[in-house]
Amino acid sequence: MYILGLSALEHDSAAALVTDQGIVAAIEESKLTRTPGKGGVPYQAIQFCLDRAGIKAKDVEKLAVASCPLPTWVRHAALQSRRYDRHASGALPPGLDDLIDELRRLPPEATDQGPAGPMGRTDPTAPTGRALPLEHHLCHGASAFFASPFDRAAILTLDEHGHSCCGTAALGEGTNIRPLRSTAFPNSIGWLYSQVTALLGFEPHLEEHKTQWLSLEGDGADGLKALFDDVLGRPCGGLPQIDLSYLRPEFTGRGAFAARFYQRLGSESERSFRLTDALARQIAASFHQACARVLVECVEQLFEETGVRNVCLAGGLFINALLVAAIEKAVGLGSVFAQPAAGNAGSAFGSAWLAWHQVLGRPRFRPLSSLDWGPSFATEDIKNVLDNCKARYRWFDTEAQRVEATTEALAQADIVAWHQGATEFGPRALGHRSILASPWAPYIKENLNHYVKHREPFRPFAIAVPEEDCARYFECSRLVRFMASLGWVRPDARVLLKDLALPGDQIRLYAVERGTNPLLWQLLKEWGKRSPAPFLINTSFNLFGEPLVVTPRDAVRSFFCSGIDAMLIDGFFVSKS
C-alpha cells in the first residue's frame, strides 16, 4: 500500500511516500527547485517520491494532505495542474491530476472539518475516497508522536498560524492522537517570534534562527525580561495565552507592537524607537528566556492533565533547538521528543503517518532513526557532472582510502565538503550534505563565516562526534542524533571546546551513529586518532541563502563558488589545490 503525504501549501511544501516499510522517499520542494521556502503544490517532490518507489500516481491508494479546510489548496492545485505542462521542469505526473480532481470534488463538510474529536466532526476511520484532508496541527503532532519512542505521550504543536490555528495540545496513545484543545491566531508564540525578529532588523518568517542565536549574546535585562513575561503571560491548559494589549489591533506594521510595548522599552512610540546592537542582544535574550519559561509551563500543565511524563513537540517554533533544550533541561533528558523537521515541511510525512496509523489503523513503525529519504546519485552520473565541469579529481575505490584522504585534508586545516548517499530531509545537515572542518584549525570560525557561509559571527557551529563517545564529553539526550536539541559540555571537556561552547556550557551537537552513517562515523574515529578528540565541525553544505545541496551539480557549483578547499563526493576527491 502507498500513501502519499503532502504538506500544507503556504510555504516549505514537501512530499513523502509511506509504504509497509515506512517512509521510502521524502523531500522538500525547495531543495529541488533551489528556491528557499518554496510553497505551492510540490510537483517535483511528488515526482521524486513516485520515481524512488518505482510507481505511478495511479498506484497511490491515499493522498493525505496536511490542510483542512482545503479550498485554497484545491484552487491552487487545479490551476497549477492546467499550467504545469508548460513548466520547464516537465509534465504533471500521470494520474496526479485525478487525485487533484478528487480533492476538488470533495463535499464541503469534508473540507471544513478535521479528524474526529474536539478538532472536528468528520470521522477519519471511514474514508470514502483516495483524498484525505487532515487537520494541519494533528499532522504536526503525528510527525512527532509516530516518530518518537513513546507509546503514550503528551503532544504540543506550535507554529505561526496553521489555517488560523496556531497551537494544539493532544494526547498520543498507540496509533491514535486525541486532541485536547487548540488556540487560534493571534494567540501565537510562533507569530510573536517573527515580530520580534522584525523588531531586531531581521527578515520575519525567514531569519528567526538569527533571533534564536543572538539571544545567547545577551543576559536578559531585568526590565526587558519583565516586559516579555507580561506579553507572554501564563499558559492555560498547556497552551500559551498572549496579552494582546501589547499588540496593534490590526496586527501589522514593524513588529506589530502597540505604543504600550514601546513605552516599556523606554520610547514614546514606534517612530522614536532606536535599536542599538546592545539593546538587540538584550531583547533577543529576554524574549528567549520568557519563551522558554512559558513552554516549560505548558509542558508541565500537560503532564499534570494527562498523567504522563513524556512529551512530543512539533510545529515551526520547535525548530528552535535552544527552546527544545530548555524544555529538556527542565523536565528531564529522555522525556522529550522534538520532530527534527518540525516546520511545515515535516507535516508531509505527518499527514501520511496520521492516515496510515489513525485513519487506516495500521501498526506503528520503528522510532525514527534517520532522515536520509532524498535523492542519491550513481557513481557514473557524478563522474559525468565532474567531467562536464572540467573538475580535477582523484577516485578512491575503498572507504578506507576515502577516509584517509579526507583526514589528511582536515589535518592541513582544509575545509571539506561532504556529499555522500541520500539527501537528508529537514533544515539541518546530518552527515550527507555537510561541510566539515577541524575545530582546532587556526581561525576556522572566521574562515567558515566569512569565506564559506557569509553569515553573522554570533551564529554557532555544530560539533559532530561518534554517538558512543557522547557521554564521555557531553550531557545530552538522543535528540542530538538529529541536532534537534543541544548538549552540555562536561567540565573535563571544556578545554577542548573553549572556542565553540555556548554560554552555560551548551553546544550544538550532532551524534553520529555507526549504523545510520557508517562512513562519517569511520572518519570521526580515524580523525580522533590524530587529534585531541573525535570532533569535527559540521555545518550545512550550501551557498548563502540557498537550501542544502542535493545534486552533484549543486555540490560542484557550491564548492567552486565558496571558500571550501576540498570535496569528497561519493568516491571522488576534488581539491582546489
Give tens-digit pLDDT for 396-428: 999 999 999 999 999 999 999 999 999 999 999
Q: Which residues contact 437 (CB under 8 A, 6 or more apart)?
A: 410, 413, 414, 415, 416, 444, 448, 536, 537
Round to whole Å and give the CA distance between 493 and 233.
38
Q: Which CATH number fits domain 379-575: 3.40.50.970, 3.90.870.20, 3.30.750.24, 3.20.20.140?
A: 3.90.870.20
Q: What is the mean pLDDT of residues 7-27?
A: 93
Round to whole Å and give the CA distance between 161 and 183.
10
Looking up cell 518540525 gives 342
pLDDT of residue 120: 34
Phi then psi dihedrals of residue 88, to 5 deg: -65, -25
pLDDT of residue 269: 81
* Weakest mean pLDDT among 92-96, 246-250, 339-343, 558-562: 92-96
Strands 62-65 and 22-28: unpaired
Instruction: Say if residue 24's pLDDT is above 80.
Output: yes
Model pLDDT for residues 142-167, shown as the tens digit of each residue: 999 999 999 999 999 999 876 668 99
pLDDT of residue 89: 43
Architecture of domain 3-146+345-359 in CATH? 2-Layer Sandwich (3.30)
Q: What is the mean pLDDT of residues 189-211?
A: 94
pLDDT > 90 in the chain, percent: 79
Compute the mean pLDDT over every residue in the chain, rounded to the nearest whole number.
Answer: 89
Model pLDDT for residues 271-307, shown as the tens digit of each residue: 889 999 999 999 999 999 999 999 999 999 999 999 9
Model pLDDT for residues 95-132, shown as the tens digit of each residue: 666 666 666 555 544 444 333 333 333 344 344 468 89
pLDDT of residue 547: 94
pLDDT of residue 366: 95
CATH class of segment(s) 189-338: alpha beta
Report yes or no: 68 and 119 within 8 Å, Cβ to Cβ: no
Strands 486-489 and 336-338: unpaired
Instruction: Say if residue 175's pLDDT is above 90.
Output: yes
Closest CA to 483 of 505, 460, 453: 460
Round to whole Å and give the CA distance between 223 and 179.
37
Looking up cell 484543545 gives 181
pLDDT of residue 268: 83
Domain ranges of the chain: 3-146+345-359, 189-338, 379-575
- Tally the residues of the chain: 577
Closest CA to 187 of 251, 143, 137, 133: 251
Rg (CA), the chain: 23
pTM, two decimals, is 0.91
Instruction: Say if residue 533's pLDDT is above 80.
Output: yes
Q: What is the mean pLDDT of residues 64-91?
A: 53
pLDDT > 70 in the chain, percent: 88
Instruction: Say if residue 310's pLDDT is above 80.
Output: yes
Report yes or no: 432 and 549 within 8 Å, Cβ to Cβ: no
Own/partner pairs, 217-220, CB within 8 angstroms, 24+ separation: 217/281, 217/284, 217/285, 217/458, 218/281, 218/282, 218/283, 218/284, 218/285, 218/286, 219/282, 219/285, 220/282, 220/285, 220/286, 220/288, 220/289
**Sign of torsion over alpha carbons 419, 422, 425, 431:** negative
Which of the 8 DSSP states describes residue 496? G
pLDDT of residue 127: 44
Is there a shared CATH topology between the 3-146+345-359 domain and the 379-575 domain? no
